[in-house]
């Protein structure tokens, strides 16, 4: 099994988070107390997909945690989901607009001793696109049945 280096966080997402942090730090307390800034960086192995889902619950992740920038021993053909997102919310000053969300999703495949990026998205519907890509390009990936969709349930 090859040893690969897990991808680092996307520079655009990191930059968004840093800009939001600097902007909030410069705000007076009356505005800054309402601010919310979050940075989400996750690396995980894709074990299976639910082809009937179109959201993140349709992707089954597993295995050991993968840490960005660290090495990991993974089998050839393993798919790694890299999900980065920065969220910022506050009552911004005029002229200090910061987009509320910056996201970057990528799917990497272990080939030999390197990672090949197979899919990337910055869109809100990234999970739907990723599940469709996996069904079309990697039919060997296992499927599973995610819990039922409860959004239409009454009561």
d(C-alpha 18, C-alpha 111), whole Å = 33
**Rounded percentage of the chain residues whose pLDDT exceeds 90:** 58
Domain, as residue range, for 50: 3-143
Give the tens place of pLDDT for each residue, 19-51: 989 888 888 787 777 788 999 999 999 999 998
Give the tens place of pLDDT for each residue, 77-100: 999 999 999 998 876 665 567 788
Look at residue 150 and tell me if it is in a domain: no
Look at residue 152 and tell me if it is in a domain: no
Name which residue leads in pLDDT, 131 or 57: 131
What's the structural domain count of the chain? 1
d(C-alpha 105, C-alpha 26), whole Å = 30
Q: What is the pTM of this model?
A: 0.85
Look at residue 151 and tell me if it is in a domain: no
d(C-alpha 34, C-alpha 53), whole Å = 35
Look at residue 137 and tell me if it is in a domain: yes
Q: What is the pLDDT of residue 152?
A: 60
Name which residue leads in pLDDT, 148 or 95: 148
């Amino acid at each position: 099994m090859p040893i690969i280096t897990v991808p680092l966080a996307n520079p655009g997402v990191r930059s968004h988070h840093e800009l939001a942090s600097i902007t909030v730090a410069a705000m007076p307390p009356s505005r800054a107390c309402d601010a919310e800034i979050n940075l989400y960086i996750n690396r995980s192995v894709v074990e299976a997909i639910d082809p009937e889902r179109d959201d993140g619950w349709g992707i089954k992740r597993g295995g050991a945690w993968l840490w960005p920038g660290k090495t990991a021993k993974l089998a050839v053909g393993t798919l790694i989901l890299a999900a980065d997102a920065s969220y910022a919310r506050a009552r911004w000053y005029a002229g200090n607009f910061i987009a509320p969300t910056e996201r970057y999703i990528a799917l990497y495949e272990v080939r030999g001793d390197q990672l090949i990026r197979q899919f990337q998205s910055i869109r809100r519907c990234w999970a739907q696109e990723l599940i469709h890509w996996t069904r079309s390009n990697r039919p060997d990936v296992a499927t599973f049945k995610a819990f039922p969709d409860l959004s239409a349930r009454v009561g």
